[in-house]
Amino acid sequence: MTKIRALIAEDEPILALTLANMLTKLWPELDICASVENGVAALQETLALQPDVLFLDIKMPGKTGLEVAQELAEEWLENRPFPLIVYVTAYDEFALQAFEHAAADYVLKPINAERLGKSIKRLQAKLGDQQERPNELESMLAQLRHLLPAAASANASAGSPAPANGERLTLIRAAIGNQIRMIPIADVLYFEATDKYINVVTAEHSSLIRMSLRELLPQLDSSIFWQIHRGSIVNSNYILSAMRDEAGKLTLKLRGSADKLPVSRVYAHLFKQM
């Protein structure tokens, strides 16, 4: 029988060791193939080792647990079973609100053996159901579609600039050398994340502003500006068509631009035929 392999991603070494010891005791057959301390390593090691189960801390340096799950869902090969993810999180309002409406399993810190035991039984049942494994990726995508807006809302309330009185951005101020370029929001074709900046693209030019998509998103009208990838937001008024290639990947063509924008799996549902 193939041994079940697990990866632990937890930035607090003592908590990671505690979780590993509890898993060894409660699930002796489990092989803990790696333990990493940040989100970047969690993504790299999971793609490299392809564990069956992933214990993901929600708040880690580098990438959050949700960001790791999102990037995994985008990069995972469809012919391989997607790992079962158990989120590990401290008590906070976001976690409870998000998970109350989602099917993803989670355990709260400090980790309780009884609760972890229930999670293990749930994992074992899922792992034993081979017919359910191929659907795990779709299940994770559905959960992410539910969780990511809640995470964005929580991040906004935690300090990112939120619109006052429901007002939305109407003008972007972008610095170009010694000049400030005033860009009407209606002219923006798309926003693209680049390291610490966002590239603001119109039909005539592109400009950089120093902020993150996470900060920008709550200030945009979500009925017009759609996130289509973890690194890009498109103005839906300029979408000309969505093309699917032989591998099933979606690409957008825009009016007034030769640029083509990829759509990740997480947001592909936005372009399902009505």
pLDDT of residue 166: 59
Q: How far apart are CA 239 and CA 261, in angstroms?
A: 10
pLDDT of residue 94: 56
List alpha helices for 132-260, DSSP H.
Answer: 136-157, 213-216
Within the chain, all domains assigned CATH 3.40.50.2300 are found at 5-130
Whose CA is closest to 7, among 224, 23, 160? 23
Q: How far apart are CA 217 and CA 147, in angstroms?
A: 15
Entry pTM: 0.74
pLDDT per residue over 130-180, tens digit each? Answer: 666 667 777 778 777 776 765 555 444 444 445 555 578 999 999 777 888
Whose CA is closest to 37, among 63, 18, 73? 63
pLDDT of residue 133: 66
Q: Classify domain 5-130 by CATH number.
A: 3.40.50.2300
Percent of the chain whose pLDDT exceeds 90: 49
Confidence of residue 238 (pLDDT cuts 50, 70, 90): very high
Which range in 28-37, 105-114, 164-173, 190-199 is most confidently predicted, on average pLDDT?
A: 28-37
Confidence of residue 103 (pLDDT cuts 50, 70, 90): very low
User: Looking at domain 171-270, which of 2.40.50.1020, 3.40.50.10540, 3.40.1360.10, 2.60.40.3710 is its CATH number?
Assistant: 2.40.50.1020
pLDDT of residue 12: 93
User: Does the pLDDT value for residue 220 go beyond 80?
Assistant: yes
State the average pLDDT for the chain: 85
Average pLDDT of the segment spanning 44-72? 91
Average pLDDT of the segment spanning 82-87? 88
pLDDT per residue over 177-219, tens digit each? Answer: 788 899 999 999 999 999 889 999 999 989 999 998 988 998 9
Within the chain, all domains assigned CATH 2.40.50.1020 are found at 171-270
Residue type, 224: I
